[in-house]
Amino acid sequence: MVVFYHMTENEVKNYDNFHLSIEINTHFTHFLLVDKSTKKAVAMESIEINKRDLSLVFHESEIIQKSNQDTVSCAFQNSHFTLIPNSIFQENESSAYLKFSQTEVSSLDVNHDKLVKHEIANCYGIEKEAKEFLSGLFPNIQYKHIGSILIDSLTDGFHVNFSTDNQFEITVIENKKLLFFNRFVSENTDETLYYLSLVAEKLKLDIQKIKIGLSGMIGQNDENFLFWSQFIPKENLNFNEIDASQLNAISTHRFFTLHKQIQCV
């Protein structure tokens, strides 16, 4: 059951100035309904995909059934992406860029994001079937990649965002310049720490001394956090919370990118 904050269900049904932010990964679809006039979240909902068609997931969504969305955006949390400097980026070559980093792109519809804070374009693929369904449901939907949301939302520092408990993105920004971004899929906690340490080593950073910002599907009692804290001082593992201006009853670090999405569309 979805709880609507700051508004009654009847007010929600008769209101037409909402933005709907959506995130889709292999396990879940997350929905965040935002009042555009106040920038406050009104409701949030997570529905397990469990290998089902998106049409079934969206049919279950109370947010979609009970609200009228003026604008809609959707960020995909996947590994079908590549970053290209603006100096060499050509829009009509987006598919060619993506082919350099992907073994198979025939099932993908290729999109690109021009990153606002950096001189970079993010070329990424969306499953054609998913895009066809979403564009049919929301004709004016705007698409984004999770990497674009993270890179344009985060400040200086070493950041780790867990899309799921074994899929995560590492973003490193220094002096407002992107030093590193990549997405990893791990089989166990040892691998998550290995990837974290490898990135730090490549950037000549001491993993035991740097502050690490955390967001997404990780918490103080989760397996990854407990394992990392055996090798990294706990005081250096900090959660990226929503900015104070956006704080409300449903704002947590677990849905950091979902809240930030509206700022990036």
User: Among residues of the chain, what percentage have pLDDT more than 70?
Assistant: 96
Please report the pLDDT score of residue 214 as a whole number: 97
Strands (E), 13-92: 18-24, 28-35, 40-48, 69-76, 81-85
Pull the structure tokens for residue 73.
């955006």
Contact call for residues 149 and 261 (beta carbons, < 8 A): yes
Asked if the model's pLDDT at residue 248 lies above 70, the reply is: no
The tally of CA atoms less than 13 A away on the side-chain side of residue 264 is: 29
Asked if the model's pLDDT at residue 249 lies above 70, the reply is: no
Please report the pLDDT score of residue 246 as a whole number: 54
Q: What is the DSSP string of 169-238?
A: EEEEEETTEEEEEEEEE-SSHHHHHHHHHHHHHHTT--TTTS-EEEEES--TTSHHHHHHTTTS-GGGEE
The candidate with the shortest Cα–Cα distance to 135, out of 124, 126, 123, is 126
In the chain, the amino acid numbered 243 is: D
Summarize pLDDT for 86-117 with one digit per residue, the tens: 999 999 999 999 998 877 788 999 999 999 89
- Distance between CA 232 and CA 187 in Å, rounded? 20
Asked if the model's pLDDT at residue 5 lies above 90, the reply is: no
Summarize pLDDT for 18-59 with one digit per residue, the tens: 999 999 999 999 999 999 998 888 999 999 998 889 999 999
Mean pLDDT to the nearest integer, 194-222: 96
Asked if the model's pLDDT at residue 167 lies above 80, the reply is: yes
Contact call for residues 39 and 243 (beta carbons, < 8 A): no
Asked if the model's pLDDT at residue 130 lies above 90, the reply is: yes
Please report the pLDDT score of residue 4 as a whole number: 86
104 contact partners, CB below 8 Å, separation of at least 6? none
Residue range 155-239, CATH number: 3.30.420.40
**Mean pLDDT score of the chain:** 93
Pull the structure tokens for residue 254.
């677990």
Pull the structure tokens for residue 42.
């009104």
Please report the pLDDT score of residue 252 as a whole number: 76
Domains 1-154+248-265 and 155-239 are alike in CATH topology: yes
Q: What is the DSSP string of 71-110?
A: EEEEEE-SS-EEEEETTT--GGGHHHHHHTT-S--TTEEE
Per domain, the residue ranges of the chain are 1-154+248-265, 155-239
Query: What residues pair up with 110 in beta bridges, in sequence order?
Result: 125
Q: Fill in the DSSP letter of residue 134.
A: H
CA 231 to each of CA 126, 135, 183, 188, 195: distance values in angstroms, whole numbers, following the listed order: 37, 46, 22, 16, 14
Summarize pLDDT for 73-84 with one digit per residue, the tens: 999 999 999 999
Stated pTM of the model: 0.93
Which fold does the domain 1-154+248-265 belong to in CATH? Answer: Nucleotidyltransferase; domain 5 (3.30.420)
Contact call for residues 1 and 40 (beta carbons, < 8 A): no
